[in-house]
Structure 1
Amino acid sequence: MISSRSRLPRHDDELPNELVELARRIAALPPEYQTDLEDPFSQVVESVRRRRRILGVVQEALSQLRLDIKYLMFDLDMTKRERDELLAE
């Protein structure tokens, strides 16, 4: 795993296995190579995390939109029913 003195971000369950493996391989490199790769790797990790957060927000918004549409369809059906009842009177 990533050594304790490495400045690479610690991996967790939110990172793809490929990034975890890349971090492990970077940590196994000599220190001079690790230093060159730490910043680009950190940027990729942040990008993956940001995309996951954005995906979560989009999924939540879609769920809310689906619920709103169900309420609107119900309201439309009730309005049509009320109209039909008034026309029948």
Structure 2
Amino acid sequence: MSPSNRRFNIPTPQDDDVVPEELSELGQLIDTLSPTRPPELDVAFQRVLNTALRRNQTLERVQEALSQLRVDIKYLMFDLEITRRERDELRQRMEG
């Protein structure tokens, strides 16, 4: 990433945050504009960038939570099946 993009706090490839390629290109295009460009443009771009990064982080957290939920459900289903087997065995012992 070029040093000029560091002004927008665009993460480098080794950072955990992944910037969509389109936003990275937009940041580079904004940097090529005249230095007298409205400062609001830089502020607006930084807000969009921060929002995209937060959205990606939230999505990653949701995906991790769903993965953990799937594992938890599998354990619960296994536990339920074992509990049912034990119940059935005890019923047979009590009846027979």
The alpha-carbon deviation at position 8 of structure 1 amounts to 2.4
TM-score, normalised via structure 1 length: 0.86
The alpha-carbon deviation at position 21 of structure 1 amounts to 0.7
Match for residue 48 of structure 1 among 46, 52, 73: 52
Q: Which amino acid aligns with 2:12?
A: D
> Structure 2 unaligned runs (5+)?
none
Question: Within 5 A, what are the aligned runs for 1:4-83?
Answer: 7-13=7-13, 14-33=18-37, 35-83=39-87
Task: Could you list the structure 1 runs, at least 4 aligned residues long, displaced by more than 6 angstroms after superposition.
Answer: none
For residues 1-22 of structure 1, give each alpha carbon's deviation from its aligned partner in whole angstroms, at most 9, with x where no partner exists: 4537x73223434111100110
Cα-Cα RMSD = 1.9
For residues 30-87 of structure 1, give each alpha carbon's deviation from its aligned partner in whole angstroms, at most 9, with x where no partner exists: 0121623110000001001101111111111111111110111011000110011111
TM-score, normalised via structure 2 length: 0.81
For these two proteins, the number of residue pairs brought into alignment is 88
